[in-house]
C-alpha cells in the first residue's frame, strides 16, 4: 500500500505516455485524503496545467458553484482527473493515455476509499463505468461498483457550452446529495 504522496511522486516522474513531454505542471488531484465523495474529470486544461491544481479555470469555477449548491465544500471532497498531465490544446485524452494513467486513479481510489464517485463527462465515465457510455443516455443513473456507488453527469464545460443541460445537471446534483444522505455521509 502507498500513500497519496507516494503515488503523486510516481506521477511526477511518470513517462508512461506522451503527455509528460508537453505538460507544465502535473495535476495529481486535491482535497480530503479521506473523502467520502470523489469527483473525476477528464484532464487538466490551460489554467490547471499552469497551477498544478484541478478544476481552477472557468469549468472549475462552475464546479465549485455546483458543489456549493448542494452544500459541499471543495475541501471536504477529493477532485482529480483521468489523466494527470494536460493534453496539448485541451484535446481529449487518447485511449492509450487514459489507460496508462488509470493506474494512478486506481491507487487514489484504493487509498481514499470514497463511497461515491462522480464522473464528470464522457471521458471520465467511459474509463470508470463503461467504454460505450454516453452522457445524454446514461447520466444520472447509480451503479454499484466494488465498494462504491458511481454516477456520471455533464462535465461543467459542457454546461457552459449549452445552458439547456443545466436542469438535468441539477437533478443529478440533487441525486448525489440524496445518495450521500442515504450513505450517512452528511
Q: How many residues bind ligand URA (CB under 6 A)?
A: 13
Residue 177 binds: one of ligand URA, ligand SF4, none (C-beta under 5 to 8 A by kind): none
Question: Which residue in the set 4, 8, 9, 16 belongs to the binding site for ligand SF4 (CB under 6 A)?
Answer: 16
Which residues within the stretch 33-62 sit at the binding site for ligand URA (CB under 6 A)? 41-45, 48, 54-55, 57, 59-60
Strand partners, 151: 118
Query: Beta strand 78-81 with 37-41: parallel, antiparallel or unpaired?
Result: parallel
Q: What are the two backbone dihedrals, phi and then psi, of residue 15, each rounded to the nearest 5 degrees?
A: -130, 30
Sign of CA dihedral 156, 74, 27, 141: negative
Which residues within the stretch 63-92 sit at the binding site for ligand SF4 (CB under 6 A)? 83-85
Degrees to nearest 5, angle at CA 145 with 140 and 148: 80
Question: Which residue in the set 8, 20, 166, 177 belongs to the binding site for ligand SF4 (CB under 6 A)?
Answer: 20
Residues counted in the chain? 186
| Among 115, 74, 86, residue whose Cα is nearest residue 11 | 86
> 68-87 mask for ligand URA (x: CB under 6 A)?
-------------x------
When asked if residue 7 is in the footprint of ligand SF4 (CB under 6 A), the reply is no
Q: Which residues bind ligand URA (CB under 6 A)?
A: 41-45, 48, 54-55, 57, 59-60, 81, 157
Amino acid at each position: 500500500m502507498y500513500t497519496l504522496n507516494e503515488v503523486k511522486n510516481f506521477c511526477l516522474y511518470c513517462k508512461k505516455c506522451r503527455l509528460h513531454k508537453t505538460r507544465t505542471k502535473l495535476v495529481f488531484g486535491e482535497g480530503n485524503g479521506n473523502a467520502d465523495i470523489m469527483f473525476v474529470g477528464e484532464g487538466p486544461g490551460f489554467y490547471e496545467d499552469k497551477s498544478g491544481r484541478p478544476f481552477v479555470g472557468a469549468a472549475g469555477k462552475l464546479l465549485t458553484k455546483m458543489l456549493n449548491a448542494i452544500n459541499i465544500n471543495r475541501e471536504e471532497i477529493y477532485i482529480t482527473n483521468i489523466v494527470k498531465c494536460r493534453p496539448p490544446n485541451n484535446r481529449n485524452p487518447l485511449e492509450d493515455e487514459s489507460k496508462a494513467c488509470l493506474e494512478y486513479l486506481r491507487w487514489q481510489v484504493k487509498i481514499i476509499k470514497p463511497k461515491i464517485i462522480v464522473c464528470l463527462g464522457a471521458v471520465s465515465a467511459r474509463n470508470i463505468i463503461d467504454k460505450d457510455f454516453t452522457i445524454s443516455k446514461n447520466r444520472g443513473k447509480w451503479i454499484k461498483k466494488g465498494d462504491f456507488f458511481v454516477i456520471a453527469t455533464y462535465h461543467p464545460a459542457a454546461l457552459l457550452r449549452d445552458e439547456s443541460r443545466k436542469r438535468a445537471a441539477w437533478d443529478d446534483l440533487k441525486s448525489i446529495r440524496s445518495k450521500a444522505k442515504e450513505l450517512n455521509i452528511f
